[in-house]
């Protein structure tokens, strides 16, 4: 491999000749050979946005000349487009402020910009990092990445799943089945009502995410090192929030209190709470689906789900609810990530939080997994759910909890006696009720209508 020599305040470093990063990135690469969790590409993308916005803001405020601004903009566009991903090699397990990833962005943008213009025009600190500090750029990148990925990657998949459940509700109107509580038979429920519960879980958690977005739209940029805004020109914070909004097409504002923005990650904790709520709801939905589809002969078997692949290497013909299993594993991971996000956010010391990389790594993994998982679950499972009407009817009329409809006529205690007799002697509720002389056969038929109990 060929190398070139790059220099920083600590001296010379050998850097691969075909890479745009420089000395500080190389030092981090060599000092933190830990794991294989590379800084999320969503953060790389966000740095491309914020560095371009900073260049435009500095130009508009008279701090950066047009030639430098244009060179930075062109390089940033390549970062945002993912063309330079191979030049961002640093792992999550680095400095807790994300300083080295900020410098990675500065160095790559400077060297690529210099290559574009054909001269050594840009300096990573003086030009690309102008009016900024790692302490305000990294939390800004965190918020930009969080908003973009929640709005553009997760919410559309939530909407698709909501639409699927709306369709299933309409398709299954009029089907009445046995309800279940405590995994035991309960009073009847319309299948469309059961599906509506699933739908509303997604609608509710989407509203929770929407409630969390305003905090994530607040940007720390302009606070520089400790929140005082040292070395940033007047109006820079407001201007850069405006430019980030222009570049993303989304609303962003400058954080009102930069001391809070640098050291507290409570907005991410709050937003991840909504992600955890979504994960909890998807755990419930996926479990409902696989229980209802269990069988094909020895389970509940009330619904059919798509058969996507063989389920066993030894049992021919076995098909498993694999999409449900994938979704529930995702839910477990998101719930575990919530612990990491909360713990990381609790580690703000004085003017800075130094657990930011691990915080955003887990946050973005949750968004990514939920978005991908919802798409997969919807396309390969939920959209193909079909009711087994005969099995639902059989289970409904075989349920002893239908006796609840008789409470107004024979009372709770007599209804309990009827259930116990029917269960012990394996006879119908009608036979038990008549045998106990609680109702005549005619009266039983008059008042007992399971399909009307929903």
pLDDT in tens, 208-237: 999 999 999 999 999 999 999 999 999 999
Asked if 429 and 384 count as a contact pair (C-beta separation under 8 A), the reply is: no
Q: What phi and psi values does residue 45 have, to the nearest 5 degrees? A: -60, -45
354 DSSP 8-state letter: S
pLDDT score of 201: 98
List the catalytic residue out of 9, 45, 182, 294. Answer: 182
- Average pLDDT on 23-31 reads 97
Q: Is 101 a catalytic residue?
A: no
What is residue 220's three-state secondary structure?
Answer: coil
Quickly list DSSP for 139-169: HHHHHHHHHHHIIIIIHHHHHHHHHHHHHHH
List the catalytic residue out of 131, 312, 399, 449. Answer: 312
- In whole angstroms, give the CA distance from residue 429 to residue 418: 7
Q: What phi and psi values does residue 296 have, to the nearest 5 degrees? A: -80, -15
- In whole angstroms, give the CA distance from residue 415 to residue 418: 5
Q: Which two tokens stand for residue 442?
A: 């005619």
Say how many C-beta atoms besides its own lie within 10 A of residue 349's C-beta: 10
Q: Is 366 a catalytic residue?
A: no
- Average pLDDT on 414-437 reads 95
Under the banding of pLDDT at 50, 70 and 90, the label for residue 381 is very high
Residue-wise pLDDT tens digits, 247-303: 999 999 999 999 999 999 999 999 999 999 999 999 999 999 999 999 999 999 999
Which residues pair with residue 85 across a beta bridge?
Answer: none
Under the banding of pLDDT at 50, 70 and 90, the label for residue 41 is very high
Percent residues over pLDDT 90 in the chain: 99
Under the banding of pLDDT at 50, 70 and 90, the label for residue 188 is very high
pLDDT score of 408: 95
Judge residue 260's burial from the number of C-beta atoms within 10 Å of its C-beta, 0-12 exposed, 13-18 middle, 19 or more buried.
Answer: middle
Q: Which two tokens stand for residue 343?
A: 């713990």
């Amino acid at each position: 491999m060929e190398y070139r020599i790059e220099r920083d305040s600590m001296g010379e470093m050998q850097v691969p000749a075909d890479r745009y990063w420089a000395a500080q990135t190389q030092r981090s690469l060599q000092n933190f050979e830990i794991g294989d969790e590379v800084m999320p590409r969503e953060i790389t993308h966000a740095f491309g946005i914020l560095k371009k916005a900073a260049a435009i803001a500095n130009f508009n405020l008279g701090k950066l000349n047009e030639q430098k601004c244009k060179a930075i903009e062109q390089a940033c566009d390549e970062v945002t487009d993912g063309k330079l991903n191979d030049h961002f090699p640093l792992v999550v397990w680095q400095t807790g402020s994300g300083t080295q990833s900020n410098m990675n962005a500065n160095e790559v943008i400077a060297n690529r910009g210099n290559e574009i213009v054909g001269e050594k025009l840009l300096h990573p600190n003086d030009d690309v990092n102008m009016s900024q500090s790692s302490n305000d750029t990294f939390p800004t990148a965190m918020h930009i990445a969080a908003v973009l990925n929640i709005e553009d990657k997760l919410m559309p998949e939530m909407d698709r799943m909501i639409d699927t459940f709306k369709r299933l509700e309409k398709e299954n109107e009029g089907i009445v089945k046995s309800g279940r509580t405590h995994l035991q038979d309960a009073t009847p429920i319309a299948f469309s009502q059961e599906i509506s519960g699933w739908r509303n879980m997604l609608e509710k958690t989407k509203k929770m995410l929407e409630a969390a977005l305003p905090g994530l739209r607040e940007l720390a940029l302009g606070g520089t090192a400790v929140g005082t805004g040292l070395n940033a020109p007047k109006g820079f914070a407001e201007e850069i929030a405006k430019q980030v909004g222009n570049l993303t097409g989304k609303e962003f504002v400058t954080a009102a209190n930069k001391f809070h923005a640098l050291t507290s990650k409570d907005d991410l904790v709050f937003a991840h709470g909504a992600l955890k709520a979504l994960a909890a709801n998807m755990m419930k939905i996926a479990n409902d689906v696989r229980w209802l589809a269990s069988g094909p002969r020895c389970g509940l078997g009330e619904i059919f789900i798509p058969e996507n692949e063989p389920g066993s290497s030894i049992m021919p013909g076995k098909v498993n609810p694999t999409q449900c299993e994938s979704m529930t594993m995702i839910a477990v991971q998101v719930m575990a990530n919530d612990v990491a996000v909360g713990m990381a956010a609790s580690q703000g010391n004085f003017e800075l939080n130094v657990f930011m990389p691990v915080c955003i790594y887990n946050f973005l993994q949750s968004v990514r997994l939920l978005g991908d998982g919802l798409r997969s679950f919807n396309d390969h499972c939920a959209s193909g759910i079909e009711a087994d009407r005969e099995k639902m009817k059989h289970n409904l009329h075989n349920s002893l909890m239908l006796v609840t409809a008789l409470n107004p006529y024979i009372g709770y205690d007599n209804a309990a006696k009827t259930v116990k007799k029917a269960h012990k002697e394996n006879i119908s509720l009608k036979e038990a009720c008549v045998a106990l002389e609680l109702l005549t056969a005619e009266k039983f038929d008059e008042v007992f209508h399971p399909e009307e109990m929903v």
